[in-house]
Chains A and B, each alone.
Chain A
Amino acid sequence: MNRPPETNRPPEDEFRDLVQELRRTAPEPPPIHWGAYRAELRDKLERRRAPAPWTWAWSWKSRPLQIAVATSLVAVLAWVGLPGRQGADLALVENAILASRLDLIVQLDVVQRLDVLEDFDVISRLDRLTVNEG
């Protein structure tokens, strides 16, 4: 595969005069006071290091229980709001909220393995079959 012509020769060789001209005529930036520059930098660094008071007040580390309850509530609401879950029994929501308060969520992996929800699904379908056939 052929390389593009511009990659064959170093551009600084090909445009030597122009590069030298640019080097010679490079404009200088407006002067600044370096003492003030460093003082300002130190100030910015200090401000960056110290967290703002509201950051600490709202830090998740300082409110683990509240965050856990809020997260479980959001999860429940999301589950209820899933397609096909419209009109779900409010008792289920209540149970889920109670479960989160009673620390049952800690055993979430065990609960998930029980496939309880799938069983409910089967049972509800069985009910419907009975109604249709009868």
Chain B
Amino acid sequence: METLAPSDEALCKRVADRDGRAFDDLVERYQERAYRIAWSIVRDREDAKDCSQEAFIRLHESAGTFAGQAKFSTWFYRILVNCCLDHQRRRRGWRRLLGWGGGGEEGESDPIERLPAPFVDPTEALGAERHMNQIWEAVEELSPQQRTAVLLQCREELSTKEIAAVLHLSEATVRVHLHRAYTTLKRRFGEQS
């Protein structure tokens, strides 16, 4: 007879009781999503690995504080997104200190910030791929919160309500972020095509 797999919430409760096996199960369930979301935000393989692992460590440390009022995934995404945004803030701070990105618009004078995400091989410049690159390059230039909201909606297919819970914002604010992000993308995309 097959037994039902325990829910994320049940596993989290067991993690709070220091059940190592439950923690391993949660990591296996969420590792790919965590890494993908982290990479979408920080756009670097090693940093994405570090941020997602840091989120799992924080999950391990604070599993006892999960009240079960929200879905586990929402709670965990919040930890993860905070790790990524903290990482970006720290990185920006260091760059400012080193004099890379002093004035002007965010990312304007920063050579790393201007790098596009490592997309598929650019030599295969098929029309569809170029199109894809252009649209995602435009996503890279959004503000961190707008970009995160777009990624959570488009990649992870989270509802506005869930995004609001993850970003600790009101639903109306998330809608404003998304609306502005999509308007910018549409305008940029219209200019390019």
Contacts and interface: CB of A to CB of B under 8 A. Distances in A.
Interface of A: 3-4, 6-7, 10-12, 14-15, 18-19, 21-23, 25-30, 32, 34, 37-38, 40-41, 44-45, 48
- For the side of the interface on B, what is the size category? 35 or more
Contact of A38 (B27, B48, B57, B120): B27
Given A10-B160, A11-B178, A12-B178, A41 B57 contact: yes
Contacts of A14: 179, 182
Contact of B153 (A12, A30, A41): A12
Contacts, number: 88
Interface of B: 24, 27-28, 31-32, 35-36, 39-40, 45, 48-49, 53, 56-57, 60-61, 117-120, 131-132, 135-136, 139, 150, 153-155, 157, 160, 172, 175-176, 178-180, 182, 185-186, 189
A51 to B, nearest CB: 14
19 contacts: A3-B172, A7-B172, A10-B175, A11-B178, A12-B178, A14-B179, A14-B182, A15-B182, A18-B186, A19-B154, A22-B139, A23-B155, A26-B136, A29-B48, A34-B32, A44-B53, A44-B57, A45-B60, A48-B57
